[in-house]
Amino acid sequence: MLNRLNGLGVTLVFSMLFAVASATAGPVTFSASGANPAGIQATVDAFRTALGSLNPNVAGSFGAGRREINWDGVPDALSAPNNLPANFFNVNSPRGVVFNTPGTGFQTSANAGVAPVRFDNINATYSAQFQTFSPQRLFTTFGSNITDVNFFVPGSTTASFTSAFGAVFADVDLSSTTSIQFFDTLGLSLGTFFAPVANNGLSFLGVQFNAGERIGHVRITSGNTPVGPTETVGLDVVVMDDFIYSEPAAVPEPVTTLLVGAGLLAITLARRRKATMDS
Ligand SMILES: [Ca+2]
Ligand SMILES: [Ca+2]
């Protein structure tokens, strides 16, 4: 009986190792650009369908489906010209993401009648350059063109992972510049993917990893400059609209912990067997 238990434990460990080693299939990319929202709608909807049904903005992980952020429900008091708290979408409206940046902060654009729209508060040329996918608010980072998105079990400080992430970009002028880089839960890169260009239009880039890869965080690069300057040739200011991602789930115990656990189990079983033989 005890030998059979030992055998089961070893089989379990090897099965887990094989599962980890074989989870290396290719990512699926959803990419489109257009002069208006209709130009990217079909690709955005295909990405949504691949991820599953939309979950409500509440704490806890549903285990399947997707979350979305369109920025449009952010209150005026936390929109331009005021900054958006980095943890708004894990605390105020729990959707399992917290932002970070080498820059100085984040902002969602203002609604008409409250303050200048589409980041005209930053530069009065911007509303003619940026359009929304979902009206009226857009999103940007300040002081840097890099936005890091970290995943948590919604409403908690428990680190989590997702399997897919996509974003809408406004006014991508330069190719191979605006990108999303994906990292696993150990911080190793899973690849960098570039958004297609659409001067004064909209671009969508979404990537789904469907072989068990765990995305611990993503790094979004928007254009080649922080917001602020008026665009000139070679200077590409890009802002963001909708984020769409698979439901964040808690990160399981690492394999090393499982191996240590299996080792402790084997020692316990051996001691029990010795005790049985000694008695
Ligand atoms: Ca929006
Ligand atoms: Ca631009």
CATH number at residue 109: 2.60.120
Residue 266 has a pLDDT of 60
Q: Does residue 192 belong to any structural domain of this protein?
A: yes
| Ligand 1 geometric centre to CA of 80 (Å) | 13
Q: Does residue 134 belong to any structural domain of this protein?
A: yes
| Ligand 1 geometric centre to CA of 78 (Å) | 14
Residue 19 has a pLDDT of 41
Of the candidates 202, 214, 114, 205, which has an alpha carbon nearest to the alpha carbon of residue 159? 214
Residue 16 has a pLDDT of 41
pTM for this prediction: 0.83
| Ligand 2 geometric centre to CA of 146 (Å) | 15
Domain that holds residue 44: 27-278
Ligand that lies nearest to the alpha carbon of residue 224, given by its number in the listed order:
2
Q: Does residue 260 belong to any structural domain of this protein?
A: yes
Ligand that lies nearest to the alpha carbon of residue 68, given by its number in the listed order:
1
Residue 267 has a pLDDT of 58
Residue 251 has a pLDDT of 82
The residue ranges of the chain whose pLDDT is under 50 are 1-23, 279
Q: Does residue 19 belong to any structural domain of this protein?
A: no
Q: Does residue 10 belong to any structural domain of this protein?
A: no
| Ligand 2 geometric centre to CA of 231 (Å) | 7
Residue 196 has a pLDDT of 98
Residue 228 has a pLDDT of 98
| Ligand 2 geometric centre to CA of 34 (Å) | 14
Domains of the chain: total: 1
Neighbours of ion ligand 2 (CB under 5 A): 171, 173, 236-237
Residue 122 has a pLDDT of 98
